[in-house]
Each structure stands twice: as structure tokens, then as C-alpha cells.
Amino acid sequence: NAGVMQNPRHLVRRRGQEARLRCSPMKGHSHVYWYRQLPEEGLKFMVYLQKENIIDESGMPKERFSAEFPKEGPSILRIQQVVRGDSAAYFCASSPETGRSYGYTFGSGTRLTVV
């Protein structure tokens, strides 16, 4: 499968634990985007990364959330000390350099449940 790979598909965490969400972009894609989707709501942009660089993190909450896209390996979205309000679907998307004309390919998402 050459698509965008996200894991895990489902993640359950207790309040106060850490959540790590992984995303491997499509082959040949160098740009990664993370979105959050609350139940019955639309896509909310969180962060845009290229290899080893955060390009735009204007949608990231100021505390507890961080993202990286290292030279080797997948992109990671990390949520520290999770709270019930973090329960959502987190989608990763990737694009080549020409994302604005090519569009994005989305992964199947990680459903985070905080109990």
C-alpha cells in the first residue's frame, strides 16, 4: 500500500498520559499536514511540516501539543497529559512540493479516546 500510513488506528489513553500518533507520507511526498476533527465537526488545521522543519504551526494549541518530521522515520504528533477534550480523530495528509495544485492525500486517521 503506497498510501499515507497512520498508526495506530485507535488509541485509548487515560487522562494525564501521553499520546503519540505516527504518520508515514505517501512515497515521493515531502510535505506533511496534521488535522484534528472533533465529532460532527469539520477539519481543523494543526501543523504543516517538511523534513526536519515546522513550516506552520498556527493551528497547534500552545501547550501539550508538539509535532516533528525527522530526517528518518515518520512524522509524530505528540500530545502530553491528555484531557477528555483531546478525544478526536487526527488525520495526517501528505503532498508533493506542488501541494497547492496536486492536492493532499489523507491517511485513514487515528481515533483518540481519552478516558
Partner 1 sequence: GDSVTQTEGPVTLPERAALTLNCTYQSSYSTFLFWYVQYLNKEPELLLKSSENQETDSRGFQASPIKSDSSFHLEKPSVQLSDSAVYYCALGIGGSQGNLIFGKGTKLSVKP
Residues that bind partner 1 in the complex, under the rule CB under 8 A: 31, 33, 42-43, 45, 48, 55-56, 58-59, 91, 95, 99-101, 103-109
Shortest distance (Å) from residue 74 CB to partner 1: 17
Q: In what order do the strands lie in the sheet with 65-68?
A: 5-7, 19-24, 75-79, 65-68
CB nearer partner 1, residue 12 or residue 83: 12
CB of 81 to partner 1, least distance (A): 27
| Of 51, 56, 54, 55, nearest in space to 70 by CA | 51
Quote the least distance from Cβ 16 to partner 1, whole Å: 28
> Of 79 and 92, which CB lies nearer to partner 1 in the complex structure?
92
Shorter beta-carbon distance to partner 1: residue 19 or 110: 110
Q: Which of 39/85 has CB closer to partner 1? A: 39
Sign for the CA dihedral angle at 47, 60, 12, 70 comes to: positive
Number of H helices, E strands in the chain: 1, 11
What is the DSSP code (8-state) at residue 24? E
For residue 37, the minimal CB distance to partner 1 (Å) is: 9
Across-strand partners of 93?
A: 33, 106
